[in-house]
Chains A and B, each alone.
Chain A
Amino acid sequence: MTHTDGNLLAGPLRAILGVDLTTAQGTCDGCGARGPIASALVYGPEPGLVARCPSCENVLLRIVQTADRAWLDLRGLTSIEVALA
Chain B
Amino acid sequence: MAIVARGFTGRGRSDPALPPGQYLTQDFPVLSAGPTPRIDTSRWQFTLATETGERQSWTWEQFLALPSEDVTVDLHCVTKWSKLGSHWTGVPLEEFLGELDTSAEYASVSSYGGYTTNLPVEDLLGGQAWIAHRYDGEDLTPEHGGPARLLVPHLYLWKSAKWIRGIQLLIEDEPGFWETAGYHNYGDPWREQRYWGD
Contact = CB atoms under 8 A, between A and B. Distances in A.
Contacts of B180: 73
Contacts of B194: 66
Interface in A59-84: 59, 62, 64, 66-67, 69-71, 73
Given A47-B78, A47-B158, A64 B183 contact: yes
Interface in B61-78: 77-78
B5 interface: no
Interface in B130-159: 158
A21 B181 CA distance: 19
Interface residues of B, number: 20
Contacts of A69: 182, 195
A44 B181 CA distance: 14
A43 B32 contact: yes
Closest 5 CB pairs of A and B: A71-B182, A64-B182, A50-B33, A46-B79, A62-B181
B31 A1 contact: yes
A45 to B, nearest CB: 10
A29 B116 CA distance: 19
A15 B79 CA distance: 21
A71 B77 CA distance: 19
Interface in A1-58: 1, 3, 43-44, 46-48, 50, 52, 57
Given A64-B182, A71-B182, A44 B79 contact: no
Interface in B43-100: 77-79
A3 B33 CA distance: 9
Interface of B: 2, 30-35, 77-79, 114, 158, 178, 180-183, 194-196
Nearest to B79: A46
Contacts of A73: 180-181
Contacts, number: 50
A1 B142 CA distance: 12
A64 B33 contact: no
A59 B195 CA distance: 21
B2 A67 contact: yes
Contacts of B33: 43-44, 47-48, 50, 59
Contacts of B2: 67
16 contacts: A1-B30, A1-B31, A1-B32, A3-B35, A44-B33, A47-B158, A48-B33, A48-B178, A57-B34, A59-B114, A62-B181, A64-B178, A64-B181, A66-B194, A71-B181, A71-B196
Nearest to B195: A66
B181 A57 contact: no
Given A64-B178, A66-B195, A69-B195, A47 B34 contact: no
